[in-house]
Structure 1
Amino acid sequence: MDTQALKDSWHLVSRSGDQVPLYFYSVLFLMNPDVRDMFPVSMARQRDKLVGALGKVISNVDRIEEVVPVLQQLGRDHRKFAVNSTHYPAVGQALLATLEHFLGDRWTPALAHDWTQAYNLVAQVMIDAANDSSKVSPPWWEAEILSHEMRTLGIAVIRARLNYQYPFRPGQSASISYAMRPRVWRFYSFANAPRQDNTIDLHVRMVDGGVLSSALVMGARRGEMLRVGAAVGERLTLTADVQGDLLMIAGGTGLAPLKGLVEQIAYEGPTRRVDLVVGARHSRDLYDYEALAKMAAEHPWLNVVPVVSHDPFYRGTRGYAVDVALQGWRGQHVYVCGSEEMAQATVGRLLDAGVPTEQIHFDEFTSDKGRES
């Protein structure tokens, strides 16, 4: 397999931008009209990203061992869309037709053979993972909403109870769906550690144009049901190599997974100090401060510092969360979560300040917990 030819050809195709996914889905739906319902209009941004990710992964098949865990997770997670092994050939055919269309004379029998082999390898990894997962877990769990609190304009905290035992670790997230927006799934982090009563907490911010976030914040009610996909993500979890005190920096609803970590430490018995710096633009955006203050009062090892950046009337600490956090950095591991912009800016400042890369933990895939992108 000529892996360099795969890379070069995908680079050429990707130059056509938005025309690539448009052509891909036109071919896919024309050849396989039964799969159209799997890709509703509300998923337009997600499905466009899927095509780009698919081409990038396949064209880098020589590094397949690096992305196997990601592919396996995708295979398991796609079960919630009722994807099965019979759908993969259809996607492969549409991909090859798209490549042929945009490459023109550059599309040769040898290149077609290599792309076919590479796609089949990637698809098989995903199919095997999905088949293995189906033996031990459902494609999704049902969760009944127990409470829905509007904490501030556009932010709600939802507690729900899952119908079966649900395995997850603090710092992880899961795709969530709601009956008012069928077939729309978005990732949200758990704001708690696993509990005996099988409940989870979600912090949901209403996003402009966010079809699911607006429904959850403004429409969800007690007694209604959510669907919850399998837990994903390891970058924000507490692993065995993370020892000693911790510094956490939260922005907006990025607080959710960090609060889950704090709850985990409380359950396990505190052996470390935790400084949690919670950043917001305005004081009204400190939507969970009352609960955090209560936790800090109950746990002497927890120090919560609210920081507001754009409210001239705020009487507490003002500035940017990362600047305040760096004043208290003493060599601890640092956990960061917020919007993509916040996470990138914060990580950049940490690196500039001399914090070692291996001590900075943030989730590149779902940095803004509860985003609609």
Structure 2
Amino acid sequence: MVDAERLKKNWSLVAAHGDQVPLYFYSTLFLTHPETRDLFPMNMAAQRDKLVAALGAVVSNVDTIEQVVPVLQDLGRDHRKFGALRGHYPAVGEALVATLEHFSGPHWTPAIASDWAAAYGIVAATMADAADEAAHYAPAWWDAEVVAHERRDLETAVITIAPGRRFDYLPGQSFSLCTELRPRAWRQYTPANAPRADGTVELHVRAVDGGEVSTAMVSLLRPGDPLRLGPAVGRGLVLGGNPPRVALIAGGTGVAPMKALIEQIATAPRPTSLYWGARNPAGLYYLDELRALAAAYEWLEFVPCADEDLFGGGVRIGSPVELAVAHGRCAGAEVFVCGPPGMVESSRKHLLDAGVRAEAIHFEPSAE
């Protein structure tokens, strides 16, 4: 039996050491089990961040672990693309416990060690079981090819890819992607379309500072280039049930899953509002397509907005969430939010302050 409060206190103590924690963990793992090095990208900076985020998510939900089981199952299925096997999990567990003991110092006790062993045992078993099950019906990864690449501005490209075999996903889900231009570095992207008869997938990619994969995809990727895809994951932006009204709030390339949701809603229309924002109108790289979509669907309202509009771009001034709330589009609606992490968090707070029920606010946590 795991003592949830004891585990959370210990994690707070360890996490206070910041970047030293993942550095120590991976150094220990690779020294004691060098065969695991090839499972990880050559540049480990982003991976180190993921470790701390994942541990924090597990610990914060350790007393209601059943709520994160679907996330752990997604992780287990997704990790097959790295070549991760059930036999690798004990090595990771050993390095993790050694790391936690090191940073706990004199506060480390046999009881805390037992708590961590039990918690990690649940995580490892859940992930490994899901991976074993997935091996019976899905490949570890999908090979795909770039069929179109359209540069919209210096930072953004709309890319169409064609998986070589059937690739299943739900609108709002995402998948990881790897390019030979940046070997073993995987990044998460969300399709901008519901599944199509021809199997092609549209991606909206923005190059971010220090983003090796995104920069390569925007600047260097060309039609005919190969890609590798991981399985679809995530539940936060999936539209379920039959809500009477939907409000979509997006920033930047966060509009991609919103377009996929609109295509899904078109099969069973209901009043839907899309508020999409950027710093200025030049950042609204998909404006013409979305205006055409709104013109084609009488049930769809599209409101482009920006922080400023110095040259009369014909957009509303203000943030997407502020305008959507001010216009009454979120009351009684299921609200979906996607964009940069800071924008998602501030939008959630604004919606809650406006009286929107927490369970009616849908988003994909940034620490997956």
Q: How high is the TM-score relative to the length of structure 2? A: 0.92
Deviation at 1:311, TM superposition (A): 2.8
Partner of 2:245: 245
Partner of 2:307: 309
| Preserved CA contact (<8 Å) 2:40 2:82 | no
Deviation at 1:221, TM superposition (A): 0.5
Aligned residues: 364
Deviation at 1:200, TM superposition (A): 0.5
Deviation at 1:358, TM superposition (A): 2.4
Gaps of 5+ in 1: 368-373
- More displaced 10-residue stretch of structure 1: 304-313 or 104-113: 104-113
- More displaced 10-residue stretch of structure 1: 295-304 or 358-367: 358-367
Deviation at 1:201, TM superposition (A): 0.5
Please tell me the residue identity of whatever aligns with 1:262. I
Shift in CA distance, 88/41, structure 1 to aligned 2, threshold 3 Å: same
- More displaced 10-residue stretch of structure 1: 9-18 or 50-59: 50-59
Deviation at 1:59, TM superposition (A): 8.1
Partner of 1:371: none
> Is residue 17 of structure 2 the alignment partner of residue 19 of structure 1?
no
Q: Following the alignment from structure 2 to structure 1, what is the Cα–Cα distance between the partners of residues 299 and 259?
A: 14
Q: Following the alignment from structure 1 to structure 2, what is the Cα–Cα distance between the partners of residues 5 and 350?
A: 33
| Preserved CA contact (<8 Å) 2:143 2:227 | yes
Q: Following the alignment from structure 1 to structure 2, what is the Cα–Cα distance between the partners of residues 167 and 327?
A: 37
| Preserved CA contact (<8 Å) 2:294 2:301 | yes
Partner of 1:217: 218
Please tell me the residue identity of whatever aligns with 2:238. T
Please tell me the residue identity of whatever aligns with 1:278. W
Q: Following the alignment from structure 2 to structure 1, what is the Cα–Cα distance between the partners of residues 2 and 360?
A: 38
Partner of 2:137: 136
Q: Following the alignment from structure 2 to structure 1, what is the Cα–Cα distance between the partners of residues 101 and 235?
A: 38
Of 272, 293, 296 in structure 1, the residue corresponding to residue 294 of structure 2 is 296
Partner of 1:326: 325
Please tell me the residue identity of whatever aligns with 2:323. V
Q: Secondary structure at the match of 1:207?
A: coil
Q: Following the alignment from structure 1 to structure 2, what is the Cα–Cα distance between the partners of residues 357 and 59?
A: 18
Q: Following the alignment from structure 1 to structure 2, what is the Cα–Cα distance between the partners of residues 127 and 70?
A: 13
Deviation at 1:114, TM superposition (A): 3.8
Q: Following the alignment from structure 1 to structure 2, what is the Cα–Cα distance between the partners of residues 282 and 26?
A: 44
Deviation at 1:20, TM superposition (A): 1.5
Structure 1 residues 125-162: Cα deviation after superposition (integer angstroms, max 9, x where no partner): 11111100111111111121110001122100001111
Of 256, 273, 276 in structure 2, the residue corresponding to residue 275 of structure 1 is 273
Deviation at 1:350, TM superposition (A): 1.9
Partner of 2:283: 285
Partner of 1:258: 258
Q: Secondary structure at the match of 1:157?
A: strand
Q: Secondary structure at the match of 1:20?
A: helix
- More displaced 10-residue stretch of structure 1: 101-110 or 182-191: 101-110
| Preserved CA contact (<8 Å) 1:58 1:119 | no
- More displaced 10-residue stretch of structure 1: 144-153 or 99-108: 99-108
Deviation at 1:264, TM superposition (A): 1.3
Please tell me the residue identity of whatever aligns with 2:301. N
| Preserved CA contact (<8 Å) 2:2 2:119 | no
Partner of 1:177: 178
Partner of 1:166: 167
Gaps of 5+ in 2: none
> Is residue 95 of structure 2 the alignment partner of residue 97 of structure 1?
no
Q: Secondary structure at the match of 1:152?
A: coil
Equivalences for 1:81-96 in 2 at 5 Å? 81-96=82-97
Structure 1 residues 204-257: Cα deviation after superposition (integer angstroms, max 9, x where no partner): 0010110000000001100111111111112211101x4112221211100000
Shift in CA distance, 323/236, structure 1 to aligned 2, threshold 3 Å: same
Shift in CA distance, 303/5, structure 1 to aligned 2, threshold 3 Å: closer
- More displaced 10-residue stretch of structure 1: 346-355 or 251-260: 346-355
> Is residue 205 of structure 2 the alignment partner of residue 204 of structure 1?
yes
Deviation at 1:110, TM superposition (A): 4.3
Deviation at 1:41, TM superposition (A): 4.2
Shift in CA distance, 162/366, structure 1 to aligned 2, threshold 3 Å: farther
> Is residue 357 of structure 2 the alignment partner of residue 359 of structure 1?
no
Stretches (4+) displaced over 6 A: none
Please tell me the residue identity of whatever aligns with 1:363. E
Deviation at 1:106, TM superposition (A): 3.5
Structure 1 residues 336-358: Cα deviation after superposition (integer angstroms, max 9, x where no partner): 11111111222222222222222
Q: Secondary structure at the match of 1:147?
A: strand
Partner of 1:370: none
